[in-house]
Amino acid sequence: MVIAFLRGATNPPPDSWFTRVETWSKTVHEEGVFVNVPDEAEEALVFLAPETGGAFSTLRTAVRGKPGAFVRAAQDLVQASLDRARLEKYLEAVREISSSDPEQLKTRTTLLARSAA
């Protein structure tokens, strides 16, 4: 696992903002991981990477080379998560309406869809 901190789309993070975590080690398994957040950090990313030669340095080089791509990807993932949560709430409401009042299903799902948009 690699933990990286970002400070905007145009500012590459320094090498010290990357932490390699050997998740299979006994200490990590028993105690977890503690990472200090740098003062200027705006976002944190967690990468799951295989333990192969160069995985850590490859990730670090990629993030430092194009921090904006990773900032945008993180923002897109947050938006997708919010959209999914809204969709789940909508479906939950539809299920509740269909079981409690099937006659009102069309009217209420139309209103729910408008509010979800």
Domain-embedded: residue 37: yes
- Comparing 100 with 20, the larger pLDDT belongs to 20
Domain-embedded: residue 105: no
What the block records as the tokens of 43 is 């976002």
pTM of the model: 0.70
Domain-embedded: residue 78: no
Q: What is the pLDDT of residues 47-102, one digit of tens each?
A: 988 877 778 888 899 999 999 999 999 999 999 999 899 889 888 888 887 777 77
DSSP secondary structure letter of residue 53? T
Residue with tokens 């080089």: 61
**How many domains does the chain contain in total?**
1
Helix (H) or strand (E) holding 110: helix 105-116
Structural domain containing residue 4: 1-65
Distance CA 19, CA 56 (A): 9
Q: What type of residue is 73?
A: A
**Residue 117 has what pLDDT?**
66
